[in-house]
Amino acid sequence: MTKDIQKLSIAYIRTGLLVTVALALACLMLMQVRMINLLTPVIVSVVFSLVVCVAIALIWRRVAQRSADSLPTFFTAVSGFRMLLALAVMFVYYLVDNQNSMLRFFVVFIAFYFAMLAHHSIFFARINNR
């Protein structure tokens, strides 16, 4: 059972990485076509997505191995933590950057955030339905 959890944790990180890279490439392609500067929002969003994805996978693996009864609490806590962390990142970006690029950052960041939510929901729904 521990090997399965280990493999699933690695699979979660791998698919999260693939989703993040695909979305980043789409944003960079849009940047080239529309001639708008999205580099900073894409970098911040990619770092946020990868850090949160790896953290969720590692914490999930630990919770699943040690106390599987706590998984519903884990999923609830992850949702709240992810949203608070996203709000903190957007607030810090608002403080650091100028007002003109805030809308672009918000749109790019929300696209990554929703992709992360979809990845998380689909992945763990498949695991729980086994």
The phi, psi pair for 67, rounded to 5°, reads: -155, 90
User: Could you report the per-residue pLDDT of 32-80, keeping only the tens digit for each?
Assistant: 898 888 899 999 999 999 999 999 999 999 998 888 888 888 888 999 9
Average pLDDT over residues 16-38: 92
Entry pTM: 0.90
- The DSSP-derived string for 28-87 is HHHHHHHT---HHHHHHHHHHHHHHHHHHHHHHHHHHHH-GGGHHHHHHHHHHHHHHHHH
